[in-house]
């Protein structure tokens, strides 16, 4: 029997993870995929470019839901995602990460008694003030298959009483990064277009609510990046939320090299040739490690504790010092998507 998988995506990190898994679904006998895009990230720079570059199948369903409060967005998604599930009757709902799209998909599927597979399960920042933490905890507790990128994630689930259906598969982001880096070397011209010399710049991203929702928080983050730019040019692909916040609060971005958001291949080229990464993104902390670049996380905690333990990452709230850097075996060898699809194809419903 062929199992129909409804994959739910909505934000940039999910497009990247879905690209790796969707490629494997096509290769795996007994699986077929229907993709639903909630529209959480909706413009060309944050959405369409990833579908084009990464070869993700065009979504069968596009909901165009974005903006508004967390409750409003999630509520609208919940209603419309449920309607798609009722129409498609999937055997499995596949969700990624920790966004509002993740939570809406998890709740809708759970209420319809459709088995849920959660990619990137078990991550914890232990900061319940973060919307992402609430999303990931709730998604894990209603999922049947929990695909963990690390052993730490498995231990987090065990502490919450979740022991069945838990698999350590490695990190699908590593699958995607290996493919993108290879292609970027051949296809990306971003360094030339921006007049960036390899080894002569750092790269930063800034978008989380904790750094953009108040003027004080945004000024603190921008000042930190501006100070870093005193040593070496800091390139900041400007997220729409951060651009709006800077304009609303009247915060100057002078001293930073501001560019529009870039596609995944261009970002892979920028990362491969930079000297350092500053970010409040969970995904980019790992991508920095995949490229073996030191990272400073612009938050008070991180889900990716392995990157800190291995010496590749530190929190901006801690004093910077060089540590001996080690490889992180938990992330696997770039075959996480294959492991996920093999498990889903073989598991009874």
Q: 65-100 pLDDT, tens per residue?
A: 988 888 999 999 999 999 999 999 999 999 999 999
**Residue-level pLDDT at 101:** 95
pTM of the full structure: 0.87
Do 277 and 293 touch, CB atoms closer than 8 A?
yes
Do 6 and 326 touch, CB atoms closer than 8 A?
no
**Tokens at 251, concatenated:** 């915060």
Mean pLDDT value of segment 12-39: 93
Tokens 């369409």 label which residue? 48
Q: Where exactly are the structural domains of the chain? A: 3-171+332-346, 180-331
**Residue-level pLDDT at 123:** 95
Fold of 180-331: Rossmann fold (3.40.50)
CA–CA gap between residue 146 and residue 348 (Å, rounded): 15
**Tokens at 124, concatenated:** 């914890």
Active site residues: 207
The pLDDT of residue 110 is above 80: yes
Decide if 3-171+332-346 and 180-331 have a common fold: yes
Identify the residue with better confidence: 90 or 262.
90
**Residue-level pLDDT at 66:** 87
Express each pLDDT in 35-57 by its tens digit: 999 988 666 455 577 777 777 77
The pLDDT of residue 319 is above 60: yes
CATH 3.90.76.10, applies to 3-171+332-346? no
**Per-residue confidence at 320, pLDDT binned at 50, 70, 90?**
low
CA–CA gap between residue 21 and residue 96 (Å, rounded): 10
Mean pLDDT value of segment 148-177: 97
Identify the residue with better confidence: 324 or 330.
330
């Amino acid at each position: 029997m062929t199992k129909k998988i409804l994959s739910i995506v909505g934000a940039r990190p999910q497009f990247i993870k879905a690209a790796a898994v969707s490629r494997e679904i096509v290769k795996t006998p007994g699986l077929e995929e229907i993709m639903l895009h909630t529209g959480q990230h909706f413009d060309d720079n944050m959405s369409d470019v990833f579908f084009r570059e990464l070869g993700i199948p065009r979504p069968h369903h596009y909901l165009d839901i974005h903006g508004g409060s967390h409750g409003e967005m999630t509520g609208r998604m919940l209603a419309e995602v449920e309607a798609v599930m009722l129409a498609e009757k999937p055997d499995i709902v596949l969700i990624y990460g920790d966004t509002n799209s993740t939570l809406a998909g998890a709740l809708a599927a759970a209420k319809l008694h459709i088995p849920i597979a959660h990619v990137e399960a078990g991550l914890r920042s232990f900061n319940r003030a973060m919307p992402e933490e609430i999303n990931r905890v709730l998604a894990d507790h209603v999922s049947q298959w929990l695909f963990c990128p690390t052993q730490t994630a498995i231990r987090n689930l065990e502490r919450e009483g979740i022991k069945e259906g838990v698999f350590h598969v490695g990190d699908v982001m590593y699958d995607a990064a290996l493919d993108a880096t290879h292609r970027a070397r051949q296809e990306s011209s971003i360094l030339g277009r921006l007049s960036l010399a390899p080894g002569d710049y750092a790269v930063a991203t800034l978008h989380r609510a904790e750094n953009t929702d108040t003027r004080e928080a945004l000024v603190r983050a921008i000042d930190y990046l501006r100070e870093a730019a005193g040593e070496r040019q800091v390139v900041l692909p400007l997220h729409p939320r951060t651009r709006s916040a800077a304009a609303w609060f009247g915060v100057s971005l002078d001293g930073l090299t501001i560019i529009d958001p870039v596609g995944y291949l261009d970002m892979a080229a920028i990362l491969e040739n930079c000297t350092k990464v500053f970010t409040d993104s969970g995904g980019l902390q790992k991508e920095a490690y995949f490229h073996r670049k030191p990272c400073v996380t612009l938050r008070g905690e991180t889900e990716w504790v392995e990157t800190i333990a291995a010496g590749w990452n530190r929190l901006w709230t801690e004093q910077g010092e060089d540590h001996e850097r080690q490889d992180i075996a938990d992330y696997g060898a770039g075959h996480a998507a294959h492991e996920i699809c093999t498990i889903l194809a073989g598991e009874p419903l």
